[in-house]
Structure 1
Amino acid sequence: MTAHLDESGPSPGQHIELVDDNPSSRHDGETSPGLRNSKGWDGKLRVPKSALLANPEALSDPEYSDEDNVIPGEEVAADEDLLDGEDPDTDEIICTHSRIQSIPALRLERFKKVARICLRQNLIQDIEGFSCLASTLHDLDLYDNLISHVRGLDDLVNLRSLDLSFNKIKHIKHISHLTNLTDLYLVANKISKIEGLSGLTKLRNLELGSNRIRELQNLDCLTALEELWVAKNKITSLAGLAGLPRLRLLSIQSNRIRDLSPLKDVPQLEELYISHNALETLEGLEHNTRLRVLEVSNNKIASLKGLGPLAELEELWASYNLIADFGELERELRDKTALTTVYLEGNLLQLRAPALYRNKVRLALPQVQQIDATMVRAG
Structure 2
Amino acid sequence: MQNQTEPPPETNSDKDDQAMEFDLSSTTALDLTSFQLHDLDSVELPSSLTELDLTANRLSKLDPRIANLINLRKLSFRQNLIDDAAIESISSWDALSGLEELVLRDNKLTKVPDVSLFKKLLVFDVSFNEITSLHGMSKVSSTLKELYVSKNEVTKMEEIDHLHELQILELGSNRLRVMENLQNFTKLEELWLGRNRIKAINLCGLKYIKKISLQSNRLTSMIGLEECVALEELYLSHNGISKMEGLSTLANLRVLDVSSNKLTSVNDIQNLTRLEDLWLNDNQIESLESVAEAVSGSREKLTTVYLENNPCVCLHFEDLKSLELLFFNFFLFIFVIPHSLLWLMSKVSLFLYLVLCRKISKLPSYPETNFPQYRANRFKHICLEENGVPEACPKSGMSDYIITAAEVGTARVLLEWELKQLKAAILLLNHHHHHNLFLHLNISLLPLFRSLLLFNMQSFYNCLSFTVPDVGGKCIVGTSRYSVG
Shared fold per TM-score greater than 0.5? yes
2:194 corresponds to 1:231: yes
- Distance in 2 (CA, whole Å) between partners of 1:94 and 1:233 is 31
Q: Which residue is equivalent to 2:117?
A: 155
Aligned pairs for 1:80-91 within 5 A: 81=41, 84-91=43-50
Q: Which residue is equivalent to 2:21?
A: none
- Distance in 2 (CA, whole Å) between partners of 1:94 and 1:133 is 18
- Return the offset for 1:322: 1.8
Q: Which amino acid aligns with 1:341?
A: T
**294, 306, 313: which one pairs with 1:332?**
294
- Return the offset for 1:133: 4.2
Q: Which amino acid aligns with 1:98?
A: N
For residues 300-348 of structure 1, what are the alpha-carbon distances to aligned partners after superposition, in whole Å with 9 as ceiling and x for unaligned?
1110121122222121111111223232111111332221211112222
Q: Which amino acid aligns with 2:70?
A: K
- Distance in 2 (CA, whole Å) between partners of 1:335 and 1:244 is 25
- Distance in 1 (CA, whole Å) between partners of 2:100 and 2:316 is 49
Q: Which residue is equivalent to 1:372?
A: 327
Q: CA 1:361/1:117 → structure 2, altered by over 3 Å: closer, same or farther?
A: farther
Q: Which residue is equivalent to 2:231?
A: 269
- Return the offset for 1:77: 5.9
Q: CA 1:330/1:77 → structure 2, altered by over 3 Å: closer, same or farther?
A: closer
- Distance in 1 (CA, whole Å) between partners of 2:58 and 2:178 is 36
More helix by share: 1
Moved more, 112-121 or 333-342: 333-342
Q: Which residue is equivalent to 1:94?
A: 53
- Distance in 1 (CA, whole Å) between partners of 2:316 and 2:71 is 57
- Distance in 1 (CA, whole Å) between partners of 2:216 and 2:144 is 27
- Distance in 2 (CA, whole Å) between partners of 1:364 and 1:277 is 31
CA RMSD of aligned residues (A): 2.3
Q: Secondary structure at the match of 1:107?
A: helix
Seq. identity, %: 34
- Distance in 2 (CA, whole Å) between partners of 1:78 and 1:315 is 46
2:253 corresponds to 1:296: no
- Return the offset for 1:80: 5.2
Aligned pairs for 1:56-135 within 5 A: 79=39, 81=41, 84-103=43-62, 105-126=63-84, 127-130=87-90, 131-135=93-97
Q: Secondary structure at the match of 1:309?
A: coil
- Distance in 1 (CA, whole Å) between partners of 2:307 and 2:319 is 13
**218, 226, 233: which one pairs with 2:181?**
218
CA contact (8 A) 1:80 1:106 kept: no
For residues 324-377 of structure 1, what are the alpha-carbon distances to aligned partners after superposition, in whole Å with 9 as ceiling and x for unaligned?
32321111113322212111122222xx6xxxx8xx554253431221397256
- Distance in 2 (CA, whole Å) between partners of 1:191 and 1:184 is 14
Moved over 6 A (4+): none
How many residues get paired? 293
Q: TM-score scaled to structure 1, two decimals?
A: 0.72
Q: Secondary structure at the match of 2:289?
A: helix
**314, 321, 324: which one pairs with 2:283?**
321
- Flag structure 1 segments of 5+ consecutive residues without an equivalent: 1-73
- Distance in 2 (CA, whole Å) between partners of 1:286 and 1:343 is 21
For residues 222-267 of structure 1, what are the alpha-carbon distances to aligned partners after superposition, in whole Å with 9 as ceiling and x for unaligned?
111110000000000002x114231121100000111112111323
- Distance in 1 (CA, whole Å) between partners of 2:201 and 2:116 is 33
Q: CA 1:333/1:78 → structure 2, altered by over 3 Å: closer, same or farther?
A: closer
CA contact (8 A) 2:271 2:297 kept: no
- Which of the pair has the greater relative contact order for Cα pairs under 8 Å at 6+ separation? 1
- Give the number of the structure whose alpha-carbon radius of gyration is greater: 2
- Flag structure 2 segments of 5+ consecutive residues without an equivalent: 1-34, 329-340, 344-361, 364-485
Q: Which residue is equivalent to 2:141?
A: 178
2:161 corresponds to 1:198: yes
- Return the offset for 1:98: 2.6
Q: Which residue is equivalent to 2:395?
A: none
- Distance in 1 (CA, whole Å) between partners of 2:322 and 2:51 is 48
Q: CA 1:361/1:87 → structure 2, altered by over 3 Å: closer, same or farther?
A: farther
Q: Secondary structure at the match of 1:108?
A: helix
- Distance in 2 (CA, whole Å) between partners of 1:109 and 1:366 is 59
Q: Which residue is equivalent to 1:312?
A: 274
- Distance in 1 (CA, whole Å) between partners of 2:59 and 2:97 is 24
Q: TM-score scaled to structure 2, two decimals?
A: 0.57
- Distance in 2 (CA, whole Å) between partners of 1:278 and 1:208 is 21
Q: CA 1:78/1:295 → structure 2, altered by over 3 Å: closer, same or farther?
A: closer
Q: Which amino acid aligns with 2:320?
A: L
